[in-house]
Amino acid sequence: GAVVSQHPSWVICKSGTSVKIECRSLDFQATTMFWYRQFPKQSLMLMATSNEGSKATYEQGVEKDKFLINHASLTLSTLTVTSAHPEDSSFYICSAQQTSGSSYEQYFGPGTRLTVT
């Protein structure tokens, strides 16, 4: 149980285009999802916290107009990279927090590799 999927697993896009990444909790409901970014050989940096039905909370330094987050249902959050540029190339990982009972376990998706040419 507690599986999180991401789609696509990798994507290549041209500079100036937008890319949408989906994060789904497959067998549990997640009122909170998190989006991370990981540069090569570096740690995960939290970009934003996404709460179902409300606006996402962005970390300092993350452009909310560039990284659009939508969490319309208890099992789906999307991250849209708008007007992508080569510096946006990175590994994007989401996690979903299971809030049933007293558990606040976070489960991570497999990640999405974005390459902007």
Partner 1 sequence: AQSVTQLGSHVSVSEGALVLLRCNYSSSVPPYLFWYVQYPNQGLQLLLKYTSAATLVKGINGFEAEFKKSETSFHLTKPSAHMSDAAEYFCAVRYSGGYQKVTFGTGTKLQVIP
**Which residues make up the interface to partner 1 (CB under 8 A)?**
4, 6, 32, 34, 42-46, 49, 91, 93, 95, 97, 99, 104-111, 113
With contact defined as beta carbons under 8 Å apart, do 33 and 50 qualify?
A: yes
Shortest gap between Cβ of 16 and partner 1 (angstroms)?
26
Residue type for position 60: Q
Total length of the chain: 117
Shortest gap between Cβ of 83 and partner 1 (angstroms)?
26
CB-nearer residue toward partner 1: 78 or 97:
97
CB-nearer residue toward partner 1: 32 or 75:
32
Half-sphere exposure of 36 (CA within 13 A, CB side): 17
Bridge partners of residue 68, in order along the sequence: 80
CA 88 to chain centre: 14
Shortest gap between Cβ of 8 and partner 1 (angstroms)?
13
CB-nearer residue toward partner 1: 24 or 111:
111
